[in-house]
Amino acid sequence: MDTGTPRRRPMRADARRNYERLLAEAADAFAEHGTDFSLEQIARRAGVANGTLYGHFPTRRALLEALLSDRMRALAAAGEELLAHPSPLGGLTEWARAATAHAALYRGLGTAFLQAVEDETSELHAACQAVLATGDALVARARNAGEVRPDVTAMDLYALVNAAAWVSEQNSAPQGERLLEFTLTGFRT
C-alpha cells in the first residue's frame, strides 16, 4: 500500500493565492479567538466566497492540519534530538515543556490533539501519532535509565501535555505550568 503523501500537481495561480490568504486569516483568527472561530468570517476576511474555503479545506481540522503540520514535524524532530540529552529525565522534561507550549498556540488545540490521537478519521491523526511516538522514545529512555516509574506511558505524557495547555487556556492563573511540573515529579521513581 502507498501511505506516502500523494504527488500533488501544482495549483492554479489564483487557487494558490486564495489558499494562502485563507491560511493567513485562519492563523490570525485562531490565534486571537481560538480554533472554534467562525469559518464564514475567515472566508470573508480572506476575501473569498464561503465555498472556496470548503474547496480547499473540507473540514475545520483539515485547516488546522495545514496550519500546523510543519510545526508538529518540528516538535517531533526536536524530541528526536533530545534523545541525545545527557540526562534522560532532563530531555523528557524539556520536550514536555515544548509540547505544552505547542498545544497552547491556539485555544482549543489541546482538545483537538487529545481527540485526534484516537480518531483515525481526523486530519490531525498522523501528526499527533508522530508526536506520540516521539514521546514514547523519550519516556522509554528515561524508564530504561530508571529515572521514571516503569508504568509511565507515552500516552500519560501526551495527556498531561495537552491537559496543561488546556488548563492555561481556561484560567489566567499559572496552573497549567504547575500541573506540568507536579505531574512530571509524580512520574519519577
Partner DNA sequence: ACCTGAACACCGTTCAAGT
Q: Does residue 139 belong to the site contacting a second copy (CB under 8 A)?
A: no
Cβ atoms within 10 Å of 147's Cβ, excluding its own: 17
C-alpha distances in angstroms, 10 versus 16, 54, 69?
9, 19, 19
Q: Which of residues 157-176 bind a second copy (CB under 8 A)?
A: 158-160, 162-164, 166-167, 170-173, 175-176
Q: Which of 4, 3, 139, 128 is nearest to 76 (CA)?
A: 128
Cβ atoms within 10 Å of 74's Cβ, excluding its own: 12
- Residue whose C-alpha cell reads 500516552 in the numeric block: 155
| DSSP-based three-state secondary structure for 77 | helix
Q: Does residue 80 belong to the site contacting a second copy (CB under 8 A)?
A: no
Measured from the CB atom, is 39 or 131 closer to DNA?
A: 39
Q: Does residue 133 belong to the site contacting a second copy (CB under 8 A)?
A: no
| Binding site partner of 7, from a second copy, DNA, none, Cβ cut-off 5-8 A by kind | none
C-alpha distances in angstroms, 81 versus 69, 75, 89, 131, 139?
19, 10, 14, 13, 14
- Per CB under 7 A, residues contacting DNA are 11-12, 14-15, 18-19, 38-41, 48-52, 54-56, 58-60
| Binding site partner of 114, from a second copy, DNA, none, Cβ cut-off 5-8 A by kind | a second copy
Nearest-approach distance from CB 18 to a second copy, in angstroms: 31
Tell me how far apart the alpha carbons of residues 99 and 161 are, in angstroms, rounded to a whole number.
6
Retrieve residue 137's grid coordinates: 522514545
Nearest-approach distance from CB 58 to DNA, in angstroms: 6
Measured from the CB atom, is 53 or 82 closer to DNA?
A: 53
Q: Which amino acid is at 4?
A: G
How many residues at the interface with a second copy, by CB under 8 A?
31
| Binding site partner of 179, from a second copy, DNA, none, Cβ cut-off 5-8 A by kind | a second copy
Which spans of this chain sit near a second copy (rule: CB under 8 A)? 111, 114-115, 117-118, 152, 155-156, 158-160, 162-164, 166-167, 170-173, 175-176, 178-179, 181-187
